[in-house]
């Protein structure tokens, strides 16, 4: 009986640890950048936690969608951009808008490649003002 009780306690403890570490691995949120009667623009924001000293940025994918269009009809404005905390805060709008979640395997892969291979970092633009202004300055 004592062995069974210890086994159950150990398994429960491992379940809590696994759950907690899975939740603590990455911060993810959606930030509305612009919302007009016709168009909504938002950023999907990612940040590995705990914070790494070599990654002071948030990493974003920026999406634009025309209101009234089908959910799958959207435009990706930026696939992967690094954003300073100050720029992310300056980008937030307090407007409410309906946004959608889209498959994020590619941005997560690109972000982890950025973390694991410093040679790839120059390929990713860094924004230090606000996201929409930085997008306008990107080469087309």
Cis peptide before 68 (omega within 30 of 0): no
pLDDT at residue 19 above 70?
Answer: no
Looking at residue 97, which CATH number applies to its domain? 3.90.70
Residue corresponding to tokens 């069974």: 4
Identify whether 73 is part of a domain. Answer: yes
Q: Which domain holds residue 61?
A: 25-137
Specify the pLDDT at position 42.
95
Specify the pLDDT at position 12.
42
Specify the pLDDT at position 22.
43
- For 56-89, b/e burial (b = at least 16 CB within 10 A) is ebbbbbbbbbeeeeeeeebeebbebbbbeeebbe
Average pLDDT over residues 51-78: 93
Specify the pLDDT at position 1.
52
Specify the pLDDT at position 98.
87
Identify whether 108 is part of a domain. Answer: yes
How many domains does the chain contain in total? 1
How far is Cα of residue 10 from the mean position of the Cα atoms in its chain?
34
Number of helical (H) and strand (E) elements in the chain, helices listed first? 4, 5
Query: Per-residue DSSP letters for 78-134?
Result: EEEEEE-HHHHHHH-------------HHHHHHHHHHHH-GGGGGGS-EESS-HHHH
Identify whether 20 is part of a domain. Answer: no
Identify whether 10 is part of a domain. Answer: no
* Banded pLDDT at 104 (limits 50, 70, 90): confident
- Give the Cα separation of 62 and 123 in Å (integer): 17
Identify whether 78 is part of a domain. Answer: yes
Q: What percent of the chain has pLDDT over 90?
A: 62
């Amino acid at each position: 009986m004592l062995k069974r009780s210890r086994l159950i306690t150990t398994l429960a403890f491992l379940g809590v640890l696994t759950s907690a570490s899975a939740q603590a691995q990455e911060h993810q949120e959606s930030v509305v950048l612009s919302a007009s009667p016709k168009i909504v623009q938002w950023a999907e924001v990612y940040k590995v936690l705990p914070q790494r000293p070599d990654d002071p940025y948030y990493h974003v994918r920026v999406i634009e969608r025309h209101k009234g269009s089908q959910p799958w009809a959207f435009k990706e404005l930026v696939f992967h951009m690094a954003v300073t905390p100050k720029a992310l805060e300056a980008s937030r709008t307090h407007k409410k808008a309906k946004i959608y979640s889209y498959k994020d395997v590619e941005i997560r892969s690109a972000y982890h490649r950025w973390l694991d291979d410093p040679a790839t970092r120059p390929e990713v633009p860094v924004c230090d003002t606000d996201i929409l202004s930085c997008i306008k300055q990107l080469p087309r």
